Structure 1
Amino acid sequence: MTLPLRAVIFDLDDTLFDDTSCTHAGLRVLAAQSGLSVPPAELFARHAAHIRAIDPLLFRGELTAHEARVLRFTRLLTELGVPDADGEAATVTYRESYRAAWAPLPGAADVLRDLRAAGLRLAVLTNYVREVQALKLAHFGLAALVDAVLCVEEVPAAKPDPRAYHAACAALAVTPQEAVMVGDSWEKDVQGARRAGLRAVWVNPCAAPVPDGVTRSVRNLQDLQRCAEFRA
């Protein structure tokens, strides 16, 4: 039997916060300043690969967020053939444009307010460090609209490990069967959550085919409350 819904757990980047657009903005300015002619999609993919390679060092506390950025851009520019790559200067250039482009996804604050008004408990569960994520949430006033924020260093393991979702449920004092996970990553926000016993809704702005043909998919946050998961 499906238990009544009592809590909603949100991913942050590209679920509540428009990280992809900000990243493209930062990379666009960095490419122009560095004289690069790499296609935007390729530059984005290369940059993402360096993030994946360096993040474990950040998560283990071996690097600060700033040090991780400097290493990332030193490696990226070196890989792209920029002579005497200056990761420190590249970090400053990128971050200025990235921060200038900061924006929540449309409807983020309104959805959180509406769900709170409906009596639901809310959390953010993110696979990134508090040093970075807390700034985003505070900047847009989203931190005040949720009951708990769990960053990667504060859970037993990152998504899609079941312990991440269970930690979020514990923080909200609900069981997994009483919670729904909302996020843009099929693996980390949908499959992982469902394996952990939660319901899940996939934020899928491009309307890609739903891999299992069953999971609820929405193109934007405004469609969330029309999902059956929110009426259970």
Structure 2
Amino acid sequence: MRCILFDVWHTIVEPEVDSREYYRIRVRALLNSCGVPAADLDRALEAYLQVHEEIENIRSDRLVEIPAAEEVRRFFSRLGLDCDVGPAQLRAFAEPFLKATRVKEGAVAAIQFARKSGFALGVLANSPHPGMIRERLRMAGLEKFFDAILVSAEVGYRKPHPRAFLSALEALNAPPQGAIMVGDDPKADISGAKSIGMTTVWVKREGLAPPEEADAIVESLADLPRALREIGWV
């Protein structure tokens, strides 16, 4: 079985707002979910950004996932809020990803091409909230194309940990030598996949240097069919 794994963030989906506004939307939604007026939104945003940075450092250092619920819990604690973390709060956490993102140009056609070319398709995403990944793909009409959707919050490990990739390949019943990873992150997507013997396609992202080890480089997913032909996979 040959397969293609796709990253999501900045590969299939991209933000429509800058990062500060993205997190502002999240913070406002979290406060609303607890019935707290967003009167001092800037202070709350700064508190969230501090918590987020602390948790991201742990994620990067250990390559393990810290669930969204824990991130929200620490944020509420930092603000001194007595608010439970339940479905409403997790929904609030997901709000910017669901409402302030767009599907990147060429993504739908590229995924359809890969499916028609006979590949098994999977998603492998670093995310503390698996539900929001699946819902966003569903909203875009893309969920139906994937045979497996794996998220670090469920796997436990984050890319570039080999276990993340191996879990995805096990779900698709494919060996590393018969698999391609498509993503924008030189370390998480490309280096991680190459470490277990996968072929890689790097999707260019502004501000990031091209990884030398990538087997192919594309401007966007619109160029994926060409890249697959050039490296002899179709």
TM-score by length of 2: 0.71
Partner of 2:125: 126
Is 1:22–1:98's contact at 8 Å kept on the other side of the alignment? no
Query: Please, which moves more after superposition, 188-197 or 129-138?
Result: 129-138
Distance 1:103 1:25 in 2: 15
**Aligned-residue offset at 1:94:** 7.7
Is 1:231 aligned with 2:229? no
Partner of 1:112: 111
Is 2:16–2:100's contact at 8 Å kept on the other side of the alignment? no
The structure-2 alpha-carbon separation of the partners of 1:44 and 1:67, relative to structure 1 and needing over 3 Å to count, comes to closer
Partner of 2:72: 69
**Aligned-residue offset at 1:154:** 3.8
Distance 2:105 2:225 in 1: 15
Matches within 5 A, 1:157-168: 157-168=157-168
The structure-2 alpha-carbon separation of the partners of 1:50 and 1:113, relative to structure 1 and needing over 3 Å to count, comes to same
Partner of 1:17: 13
The structure-2 alpha-carbon separation of the partners of 1:146 and 1:25, relative to structure 1 and needing over 3 Å to count, comes to same
Partner deviation per Cα, 1:117-142 (whole Å, 9 max, x = no partner): 11111000112242332222222222
Partner of 1:81: none
Distance 2:163 2:111 in 1: 24
The amino acid across from 2:118 in the alignment is: G
Is 1:25–1:97's contact at 8 Å kept on the other side of the alignment? no
The amino acid across from 1:52 in the alignment is: E
Is 2:111–2:145's contact at 8 Å kept on the other side of the alignment? yes
The amino acid across from 2:6 in the alignment is: F
TM-score by length of 1: 0.71
**Aligned-residue offset at 1:52:** 0.6
Partner deviation per Cα, 1:203-232 (whole Å, 9 max, x = no partner): 113274324276422221101111123636
Matches within 5 A, 1:30-49: 34=40, 36=42, 49=53
Partner of 1:177: 177
The structure-2 alpha-carbon separation of the partners of 1:135 and 1:177, relative to structure 1 and needing over 3 Å to count, comes to same
Is 1:123–1:149's contact at 8 Å kept on the other side of the alignment? yes
**Aligned-residue offset at 1:165:** 1.5
Is 2:15–2:100's contact at 8 Å kept on the other side of the alignment? no
Distance 2:213 2:144 in 1: 35
Partner deviation per Cα, 1:25-60 (whole Å, 9 max, x = no partner): 3335669974749xxxx999867524415768x946
Distance 1:188 1:220 in 2: 18
Distance 1:230 1:159 in 2: 26
Query: Please, which moves more after superposition, 151-160 or 140-149?
Result: 151-160
The structure-2 alpha-carbon separation of the partners of 1:164 and 1:35, relative to structure 1 and needing over 3 Å to count, comes to closer
**Aligned-residue offset at 1:182:** 0.6
The structure-2 alpha-carbon separation of the partners of 1:213 and 1:153, relative to structure 1 and needing over 3 Å to count, comes to closer
Is 2:215–2:231's contact at 8 Å kept on the other side of the alignment? no
Is 2:181–2:198's contact at 8 Å kept on the other side of the alignment? yes
- Structure 1 unpaired stretches of 5+: 79-83
Identity of aligned pairs, percent?
Answer: 28
